[in-house]
Amino acid sequence: MLFQIKSYLHFLWNSKNEHGVHSPFVFSLVTKCFYDKKNKTEYTLIKNYRKALLENKNTINVTDFGAGSRVFKSNTRQIAQIAKTAGISSKRAKLLFRITQYFQPKSILEIGTSLGLATSSLALGNPKAKLTTLEGCPETSKIAKEQLQKSNFKNVTTITTQFESFFTSDQLDTNYDLIYFDGNHSKEATLAYFEQLLQTINNETLWIFDDIHWSSAMEEAWEQIKEHPKVRVTIDTFQWGLVFFREEQAKEHFIIRL
């Protein structure tokens, strides 16, 4: 906890709002998407998806393949508590929806479905997109699939698999416009996924890494990602790291307050 407090204070000291952004591409993203305060009809659907999970008092046995939980001490967890403490926040869910709506990706990969809270935002952001979401835990994946079906998200394919197995399978698309990384908050896994999935990028691809300030190791991973020669623009929002591969862009790194 102390590490994250220090990290956040450092972030605040170095961060800017739209007035400190001189890139037209990033300025447009910040002003038209990040700071868009208008209400959206889809926000109600996102809220209802969360509400259904918060009302689910059943328990499941979670198989955790990632860096573990800072909240739960047991692998037997109540669905409502997972949704409340471990899922994407309401504010971030709305932002993820706006980002997806802004860029209109045709093919989306989510690494780490959990209960599908972020999945619902991605699906609503572009209902015409092909959205594939991966979850390693069978019981969590089952709940997410059931809730996504109840909520009538028809553009989502839920796959229960260990991520590394999927990356080396013939199910992996050769081209993803957006990848949301939220499955394993370790340096080694993050960098391995980064390298394995570089084969799927195009010039317009956006990658979003969750919890880049989770630990000192995750911050090291983020710094290595920023320096990769294929990476052109990055945006650090503290919770997320956004990565763009646009060859026409000068290499720049931004730290943006939300």
Q: What residue segments make up the domains of the chain, in order of their start? A: 2-47+88-255
> In the chain, which residues have pLDDT < 50?
68-69
**pLDDT of the residue at 152:** 95
DSSP letter for each residue of 173-190: -S--SEEEE-S---HHHH
DSSP letter for each residue of 188-255: HHHHHHHHHHGGG--TT-EEEEE-TTSSHHHHHHHHHHHH-TT--EEEE-SSEEEEE--TTSPPEEEE
**pLDDT of the residue at 65:** 64
**pLDDT of the residue at 20:** 83
**pLDDT of the residue at 196:** 96
Please write the tens of the pLDDT for every residue from 89-120. Answer: 999 999 999 999 999 999 999 999 999 999 99
Among left, alpha and beta (phi > 0; psi -120 to 50; other), residue 59 is beta
**pLDDT of the residue at 185:** 87
Residue 253 in contact with residue 8, Cβ under 8 Å? no
What is the Cα–Cα distance from 105 to 109, expressed in whole angstroms? 10
- Write the CB contacts of 100 (distance below 8 Å, at least 6 apart in sequence): 108, 121, 122, 124, 125, 126, 129, 178
Q: What is the pTM of this model?
A: 0.94
Q: Which two tokens stand for residue 203?
A: 């010039």
**pLDDT of the residue at 19:** 85
What is the Cα–Cα distance from 56 to 150, expressed in whole angstroms? 14
Please write the tens of the pLDDT for every residue from 22-42. Answer: 899 999 999 999 999 999 999
The domain 2-47+88-255 is placed in CATH, from the list 3.90.420.10, 3.40.50.150, 3.50.50.100, 3.40.50.620, at 3.40.50.150
Burial 82-102 (b: 16+ CB within 10 A, else e): bbeebbbeeebbbbbbbbbbb
